[in-house]
Structure 1
Amino acid sequence: MDRRNFLRAAMIGAGVTAFGNTLTPSAMAAPAQNGPSPYGALQPADANGVLLPSGFTSRIVARSGQQVASTGYTWHSAPDGGAVFADGTGWIYVSNSEIDPGGGVSAIKFSSAGAITAAYRILSNTRQNCAGGAMPWKKWLSCEEVDRGFVYECDPLGPASAAIQRPAMGRFKHEATAADPVRKAIYLTEDVTDGCLYRFVPTTWGNLESGTLQVLRAGTATSGSFTWATVPDPDGSPTATRNQVSGAKRFNGGEGLHYANDTAWFTTKGDNRVWQLNLANSTYELAYDDSLVSPGTAPLSGVDNVTGTASGDLYVAEDGGNMEICIITPNDIVAPFLRLSGQSASEITGPAFTPAGNRLYFSSQRGTSGSSSGGITYEVTGPFRS
């Protein structure tokens, strides 16, 4: 059975619900190639400087250093990785702050109609919080992108004092995480040029106090089979976690990470690739490589944060490039979904959808100023594919 049919069969057999969305992506025949977006061409920039397909609109929900709506809360600098959580009445968008020192995480609470009702801090006094991941038990893992950094488990409802440091998940230059409820494991990327891909297997699913940290082992090719090996010392000192296991596969700058239906996708910014782990049969391959795109110029470069939708589309944010979020469809097409104008000294971060799938949140980390104090957080509303 080929990869596409194998994963389609797996998806029919088991649906996964996480963070309010039922994720049912189809398999992708790697690597994706240029093609028309399912949403059509980008229209001229709107009043917020956002180029969107017809039928979509944007609004700015927060700016670094300014009060969020009428909440009285000042939005953090350098907004980075984010996620959306349903809260029973509406939803909450959480956003990391990639500054050091200071860091931490802020949250914006929305009503069921999308009105901003509150904003507050859920993690404080940490270092360079870059990406992370939402857990099925409605917690946010915020990751420090520093040597021997920590993972912090945060409550989207706050307060900041409720956040818990999770050293059992390893101390290294963390980037993103993603939960796999089938194998009861959490995958983690590492943002260094010779980084690794890890998984943490908690002793008890839903409790991150203890467990086993493992690293992916594989050959040097861009496809093949893989295994997991235990990291002897998750503390990473004196020997870094990535150097403790012989045969650990190296990835050039691990970034965003997304899991759905026996598949994990993650990005590596050093070589502009999106990798695909087929967890049902323990194989890996490329879902996207900008050096293999045809015809014409690759639309996606500076790959960074990634998220997915119920339709099976991946949304990949650019760190640099031409400041786009690009879509990779289940039928192997890559195309721009949106673009920010006048922000070439920034990067797009934190893409995340509401439970209904009709609103997308993301940030421009340095906005139009090119400074971490100039971050802008956006909402895009429109007819997203379901």
Structure 2
Amino acid sequence: MNRRDFTTALAMAAFAGLAGCTGRSRAAAASRPSALVPDPDGILDLPPGYRYRVISRLGDRMDDGHVVGDRADGMGCFPAGRGRAALVRNHELGPRHQDAGPFRGRDVATSYDRLADGTALPGGTSTLIYDVARGRVEAQFQSLAGTIRNCAGGTTPWGSWLTCEEDVTRAGNGVGRDHGWVFEVPAAARGLVDPVPLRAMGRFNHEAAAVDPATGIVYLTEDRPDSLFYRFLPARPGRLSEGGRLQALALVAGDDSRNWAGIDFPARAIRPVRWIDLDGADSAADDLRMRGHAAGAARFARGEGIYFGTGELYFCCTSGGAAKLGQIFRYRPSPHEGQPGERDQPGQLENFVESTDPMMFNFGDNLTVAPNGHLIVCEDQYTDPVDNHLRGVTPAGEVYTIGRCRLQTELAGACFSPGGQVLFVNLYSPAMTLAITGPWHVGEMQPAA
């Protein structure tokens, strides 16, 4: 047993008792209402023992003179020394969102792209420096400017945030440059960074990214109904700007994970995978997913949030599954991931959770792993009168409710402080960032029904 398998086995053994539950009991536990305490401010209901604080809002004046922009989406958290955390937060803003952006007529010298009148595009990232012990924001500032629809992304082991454009606008369509890229924002930056697109990581409708700290391989999701699941093999791990090779996941048997036309990939089933090289990763034609599927890559239903845990990663497919309510996949890399030996010991893809009821799980998006090993998943559905929730998922695949958003917006950007004491979450619009405290290290967080 290698190190990765041994670590995973220990984690699963800790929750072995949960794995003995029947499918019926799991469904019942997921669908029953949880004992959440109604929030008198009408923002977020939480279980007893959990509390939140609003630490940043749309329109707040930042230290650089700009304001907090709207449409707060994916977010990453980094240690910033002396008990502080740096939060790098995406803003999913496009050319038509100038009035909701951070600049409001102010000029910026460093911007990836501009409108015809010279105005910087409002998309990008903002950074918060948060004192975890004192529960207060020490600084806020814009850290990337001039991009479009920065949706999700991912943290890197070397201390940066990969922010991803969920947009493939071409130059000349109201903007000066092509979009559809990943950009890297160092968490230590204390102002606007040089906006350099990582072209070798592909031009497509990016959603999120996750890095395997053992290999430096980057895994990428795509928010399209016929999306692919990608990995980027860097020429030099940790030096993404130096290029590398982009590939798409293919199933050894089958070419579709969505279960829309029948159950081809049952819940809890595990499939070996292979990887297909993609040429022309920076194609202007927005055709990577079509060319990849034609070469044998598997289709996924709107790949969204992704997070690398202990030797394995999880990612959401928002509208996947026979009921089109969402799936969570778990990928365990090969012991020889990205090397020739992976053909003999391929990576394994599991349909970890597939929702059959909107009260169980409805349109999962960003996700993270809690200190106790459970997943925390943000819902972002706009198709049902039911509120969006924070859902917990045990290592046995049981789904339960942690929080309910009382505003008509999505939850996003879930990430934990370096010590695991605080869960940070964004409310998309009007943008807010919340700091939630509670017993996150407890083995079973499910509130009583």
Same fold (TM over 0.5): yes
Aligned to 2:328: 274
In structure 2, relative to structure 1, the CA distance for the partners of 1:285 and 1:34 (3 Å cut) is farther
In structure 2, relative to structure 1, the CA distance for the partners of 1:239 and 1:173 (3 Å cut) is closer
Matches within 5 A, 1:111-190: 111-113=131-133, 114-147=135-168, 149-158=180-189, 159-190=191-222
Aligned to 2:38: 44
- On the 8 A contact 2:250/2:275 being kept in 1, the answer is yes
Measured in 1, the distance between the counterparts of 2:214 and 2:91 equals 31
In structure 2, relative to structure 1, the CA distance for the partners of 1:197 and 1:25 (3 Å cut) is farther
In structure 2, relative to structure 1, the CA distance for the partners of 1:338 and 1:146 (3 Å cut) is same
Measured in 2, the distance between the counterparts of 1:331 and 1:285 equals 13
Q: Which has the larger radius of gyration?
A: 2
In structure 2, relative to structure 1, the CA distance for the partners of 1:146 and 1:25 (3 Å cut) is farther
User: What is the CA distance between 1:312 and its match in structure 2?
Assistant: 1.1
SS in 1 for 2:400: strand
- On the 8 A contact 1:327/1:335 being kept in 2, the answer is yes
Structure showing the higher strand proportion among its residues: 1
The superposition leaves residues 184-238 of structure 1 with CA deviations (integer Å, 9 ceiling, x where unpaired) of 3000000011000000011111000211101001123324111111111111334
Matches within 5 A, 1:1-386: 9-11=6-8, 33-35=27-29, 41-47=35-41, 49-67=43-61, 73-89=66-82, 90-101=84-95, 102-113=122-133, 114-147=135-168, 149-158=180-189, 159-209=191-241, 210-218=243-251, 219=254, 220=256, 221-222=264-265, 223-238=270-285, 240-245=287-292, 246-271=295-320, 272-280=326-334, 281-291=346-356, 298-320=359-381, 322-341=387-406, 343-344=407-408, 346-366=409-429, 374-385=430-441
User: What is the CA distance between 1:55 and its match in structure 2?
Assistant: 0.9
Measured in 1, the distance between the counterparts of 2:136 and 2:297 equals 47
The superposition leaves residues 152-179 of structure 1 with CA deviations (integer Å, 9 ceiling, x where unpaired) of 0001232223343211110000000000
SS in 1 for 2:300: coil
In structure 2, relative to structure 1, the CA distance for the partners of 1:257 and 1:288 (3 Å cut) is same
User: What is the CA distance between 1:82 and its match in structure 2?
Assistant: 0.3
User: What is the CA distance between 1:76 and its match in structure 2?
Assistant: 1.2
- On the 8 A contact 2:78/2:418 being kept in 1, the answer is yes
User: What is the CA distance between 1:363 and its match in structure 2?
Assistant: 1.2
Measured in 1, the distance between the counterparts of 2:8 and 2:363 equals 30
User: What is the CA distance between 1:12 and its match in structure 2?
Assistant: 6.1
Question: Which moves more between the two structures, 116-125 or 263-272?
Answer: 263-272
- On the 8 A contact 1:185/1:201 being kept in 2, the answer is yes
Aligned to 1:369: none
User: What is the CA distance between 1:36 and its match in structure 2?
Assistant: 7.0
In structure 2, relative to structure 1, the CA distance for the partners of 1:58 and 1:71 (3 Å cut) is farther
SS in 2 for 1:11: helix
Measured in 2, the distance between the counterparts of 1:7 and 1:46 equals 45
- What do you get for the CA RMSD once the two structures are aligned? 2.8
- On the 8 A contact 1:227/1:282 being kept in 2, the answer is yes
User: What is the CA distance between 1:67 and its match in structure 2?
Assistant: 2.6
Q: Give the TM-score taking structure 2 as reference length.
A: 0.74
SS in 1 for 2:89: strand
- Number of matched residues? 358
- On the 8 A contact 2:226/2:302 being kept in 1, the answer is yes
SS in 1 for 2:6: helix
The superposition leaves residues 251-294 of structure 1 with CA deviations (integer Å, 9 ceiling, x where unpaired) of 01111001112211111112211111122451212111112x6x
Measured in 2, the distance between the counterparts of 1:141 and 1:365 equals 19
- On the 8 A contact 1:71/1:117 being kept in 2, the answer is no
Measured in 1, the distance between the counterparts of 2:417 and 2:206 equals 25
In structure 2, relative to structure 1, the CA distance for the partners of 1:304 and 1:173 (3 Å cut) is same
SS in 1 for 2:49: coil
Measured in 1, the distance between the counterparts of 2:188 and 2:81 equals 12
SS in 1 for 2:240: strand
Measured in 1, the distance between the counterparts of 2:14 and 2:197 equals 32
SS in 1 for 2:441: coil
Measured in 2, the distance between the counterparts of 1:340 and 1:62 equals 17
SS in 1 for 2:193: helix
- On the 8 A contact 2:204/2:286 being kept in 1, the answer is no
Measured in 1, the distance between the counterparts of 2:9 and 2:328 equals 24
Amino acid at match of 1:312: G
Measured in 1, the distance between the counterparts of 2:400 and 2:347 equals 29
Which of structures 1 and 2 has the larger relative contact order (alpha carbons within 8 angstroms, sep 6+)?
Answer: 1
- On the 8 A contact 1:194/1:251 being kept in 2, the answer is yes
